[in-house]
Structure 1
Amino acid sequence: MASRVSLVGLLIVALTLPEIANAAEYQVGDSFGLAFPPSTDFYANWASNKTFQAGDSVVFNRNGTHTATRVSKEDYDACNTTGGTILVTSGVDVRLDVNGTYYFICSVGTHCQQGIKVAFVVGDGEFDDLDRGSAPSLTVGGTISAILATLMICFFE
């Protein structure tokens, strides 16, 4: 029995390692960081050159007094700074758990209007993660691993 459990555990680890290894970490704005950009479309251009996938992380390294405030699409478009979840610590690492679009603005003064805002389109970007409530923590690879592990357990019983 113990060897079956060990085999199943080993199988789960082997199937999920490629998913973990494929996760990428991006520093928002690369070496520029989170600061007053040279143009209001700087961060949009930066993000459009990246392919974000579920499981990736983004790191907000602030240069100056800025926030990374997670907001809805409507608040992002309007630079509405009265809602959202504020991340104020430099070096905050945000995991992009599921496909969808994640919206962040700087909620200090008129910084958002000056271009300190970025949207991350993850996967197909079909769902706005903020409006979905609690999202499932399993990605496609994790779901496949869970199904295979369940099948293996049933097979060895």
Structure 2
Amino acid sequence: MNEASASSLQKICRSFGERGKTGILFPVLAYLSAKWFAYASQKTGADKREGAMAFYVKVWLFVLAVLIWAEPNPTTAEVFTVGDSVGWTTLNRPNYTAWAAGKTFRVGDTLLFKYHKEYHNVLVVKEADYEACKNSSALFEYHSGEDAVIIKEAGRHFYICGFSNHCQIGQKFDIKAIVSSAALSNPPANSPQSNAGGHLKATPSIADGTLTVVLVTVLCLF
């Protein structure tokens, strides 16, 4: 690869971070096309046909890598702070049913409960106990004041506060979780902090970095 080609490749690589994933496709294809025309102008006959075949193979490898790279990352889970900035409380009687209704929960996501542990707790209960606000036979109980509850199974899940009368006045909600294509099996090492929107993305996987290396490697073949 000559100095001019190396310079062009460096510009393309820098634009990965500026244009996003699919946005880089067209300028790179333009670069590859220019390389091909420069090559074709110097070749004739069988050499030209062989060069064309090799060129198209490389282009399709690159396009395939970009399309895979542009797919949404299935390994990211979300962390939802229950009640958003309000947290898990009875003050002003937040509507937790409404909070949960507008969200999509998947296996591997986390529900982050923030509350004063002197006044509240979190109970995971069966549907019948949820409807009756019964706290004597909880499946799980949390009482740290900041509990990260991993959604481990698809289906409906029911949460209430076990303190006296709290469930009855609305400190309860249920969700329906769906299966993620790459549900996370291990809980996060540390409880994450909520953002203003009430949820955040977990740490991205290394897939983007790996595919970036693949894309740059394919480019270097030209």
The two structures have a TM-score, normalised by structure 2, of 0.46
Classify 1:51/1:71 alpha carbon distance in 2 versus 1 (closer, same or farther; 3 Å): same
Runs of 4+ in 1 over 2 A off after TM superposition: 17-20, 37-40, 139-142
**1:31 Cα deviation from its structure 2 partner:** 0.5
How far apart are 1:18 and its partner, in Å?
A: 3.1
In 1: Cα distance, 2:115 partner to 2:182 partner: 33
Partner residue of 1:79? Answer: 133
Match 1:121 to one of 176, 195, 198: 176
Q: SS where residue 19 of structure 1 aligns?
A: coil
Letter in 2 for 1:100: G
**Alignment of structure 1 residues 8-27 onto 2, 5 Å:** 18-21=73-76, 23-27=77-81
Task: Select the structure that is richer in helix.
Answer: 2
For 2:181 and 2:82, the matched residues in 1 are separated by: 25
Query: Matched residue pairs, number?
Result: 111
* Mapping 1:1-157, distance limit 5 Å: 18-21=73-76, 23-36=77-90, 38-39=92-93, 42-63=95-116, 65-84=119-138, 85-123=140-178, 140-141=181-182
- Which secondary structure state, in structure 1, belongs to the residue aligned with residue 182 of structure 2? helix
Q: Deviations over 1:65-115 (max 9, x none)?
A: 101001000000000011112100111101112211111111111111011
Question: Hey, what's the Cα distance between the residues in 2 that align with 1:89 and 1:36?
Answer: 17
For residues 24-52 of structure 1, the C-alpha deviation after alignment (integer angstroms, 9 at most, x for no partner) is: 00000000000005347x00000001111
Unaligned runs of 5+ in 1: 1-16, 125-138, 143-157
Distance 2:131 2:100 in 1: 16
Q: Check the 8 A contact 1:37/1:116 in 2, yes or no.
A: no
What SS class does the counterpart of residue 106 from structure 2 fall into?
coil
Bigger shift: residues 58-67 or 99-108: 58-67
Q: Secondary structure at the match of 1:103?
A: strand
Gaps of 5+ in 2: 1-71, 184-222
Q: Which moved more, 1:68-77 or 1:58-67?
A: 58-67
Which structure has the bigger radius of gyration? 2
Q: Tell me the SS of whatever aligns to 1:76.
A: helix
- Structure 1 distance, partners of 2:176, 2:159, is 12
